[in-house]
Amino acid sequence: MKSRWTLPIITLAILIRSAAFAVDIPDVTFKTREVGTVIFSHKFHIKQKGLKDNCKSCHKAIYDLRKKVPFTMADMKKGKSCGACHDGKKAFGIAQCVRCHPAGNVIFKVKETGPVLFRHDNHLAIYACRSCHTKLYEAGPNKRTTMAQMEKGKSCGACHNGKNAFSAGECIKCHPVKEIEFKIKEVGNVTFSHTAHTGMYPCGECHDKLYLPSSGNKRISMSDMEKGKSCGACHDAGSAFTVKENCDKCHKM
């Protein structure tokens, strides 16, 4: 049963309730396709000087709850919606995008190499949102990109081409590696140097062929290595010194 009084009554109820429990008014979530979600906090705003308990400063001076209309950033720059106050004087200006559109670290999970970190903050020192959104990415799940596609200019490769930024060939700048310590009681620990080996081989030479990029690999015995497993795939007196001798080149004795 809807009448033209329903909304005013609800609003009145909320107003009465909120006079006593001002903090109870829920956050409002705006979803955008391009740059993600914006949360508007009633709780925070009604505590501001000049706005305290004053629903009227926004309702319906700025927002009419009976006809919710989406606003664009262009509208806001002209003083509509958030832009009525966020003008750089009454409140921080519209130019400070990330204060309303949080853009944090993004982690790409890559099975073959381990996680890749993309840092918005470092990139935002150089670029505006529109350099990447939505030309290269939606702010949401995107289709996965392979390195082969990146080398043709997709995703990170649009800039990481050796001209605008370091090239997609410099694997460890995006896929970080660390030195690996194998703990062996009997004969002393072994340090495997990624840095030394990635200077000679691409990641794919070892991952996933010989090792998963995780510490969850099965332990390998020296006799298996002599048959060509793990380090023994190369350390066979062919490509590199053999595991049948040279114990102290690998084991800290």
Which residues from 119-178 bind ligand HEC, rule CB under 6 A? 119-120, 122-124, 126-127, 129, 131-133, 136-137, 139, 142, 144-147, 155-156, 158-160, 164-166, 168-175, 177
Write down the least CB distance from residue 1 to ligand HEC, Å: 20
Write down the least CB distance from residue 234 to ligand HEC, Å: 3
Distance CA 87, CA 90 (A): 6
Q: In the window 84-113, what residues touch ligand HEC (CB under 6 A)?
A: 84-86, 90-92, 94-101, 103, 106, 108, 110, 112-113
Q: Give yes or no for residue 63 binding ligand HEC (CB under 6 A).
A: yes
Q: Give yes or no for residue 179 binding ligand HEC (CB under 6 A).
A: no
Q: In the window 1-60, what residues touch ligand HEC (CB under 6 A)?
A: 14-15, 18, 22, 25-26, 28, 30, 32, 34-36, 38, 40, 42, 44-46, 48, 51, 55, 57-59
Whether residue 143 is preceded by a cis peptide bond, meaning omega within 30 degrees of 0, is no
Tokens of 202: 């691409």
Q: Which is nearer to ligand HEC, 1 or 198 (CB)?
A: 198
- Whether residue 230 contacts residue 220, with contact meaning beta carbons closer than 8 Å, is answered with yes
Q: Give the helix/strand (H/E) hosting 222.
A: helix 222-226
- Enumerate residues 6+ apart whose C-beta is below 8 A from 14: 25
CA 249 to chain centre: 40
Residues touching ligand HEC, count (CB under 6 A): 139
- Enumerate residues 6+ apart whose C-beta is below 8 A from 94: 73, 76, 77, 82, 83, 86, 87, 88
Q: In the window 205-234, what residues touch ligand HEC (CB under 6 A)?
A: 205-207, 210-211, 213-215, 217, 219-222, 230-231, 233-234
Q: Which is nearer to ligand HEC, 6 or 146 (CB)?
A: 146
76 class by beta-carbon count within 10 Å (0-12 exposed, 13-18 middle, 19+ buried): middle
